[in-house]
Amino acid sequence: MTGDLRQGAHGAPRAPHGHSSGIGAYLGVFAALMVLTALTVWAAFQHLGVWNTPVALTIAVTKALLVAWIFMHLRGSPKLTIFVVSASVLWLAFLILITVSDYISRPWLPIYAS
């Protein structure tokens, strides 16, 4: 092998330090997750009305993105991996959308009218 590349899994070459996250990134994400968890607990005890769920989901999505970006190494992944993860998230959003639309539209049917 050449001087700049090392053997990766299955004999594929990989960059020596190009895609790995350092200890600082892990500690930074850990601190951010702790702060966001404290924010989640604080928000749970606030009376935000209809904003309770959007605030909680925003915090949860932020935490999930941090975990995926750093701990699952999406930051240094090939574009195909990022595309597959993005497509999966869009598919989940689509499934949630059609489930919610079914739930919301049920009162329109005469058999469910009270």
Give the chain's largest Cα–Cα span: 75
Query: For the range 64-67, what are the long-range contacts, defined as Cβ-Cβ under 8 Å and sequence gap of 24 or more?
Result: 66/29, 66/32, 66/33, 66/36, 67/29, 67/33
Same-domain check for residues 65 and 106: no
The residue ranges of the chain whose pLDDT is under 50 are: 1, 4, 15-17
Is there a contact between 13 and 23 (Cβ–Cβ < 8 Å)? no
Q: Give the whole-number percent of the chain exceeding pLDDT 90.
A: 51
Asked whether residue 58 is assigned to any structural domain, the reply reads: yes
Taking only the tens place, the pLDDT of each residue in 84-98 is 989 999 999 999 999
Pairing state between β 6-7 and 13-14: antiparallel
Same-domain check for residues 67 and 48: yes
Same-domain check for residues 69 and 88: no
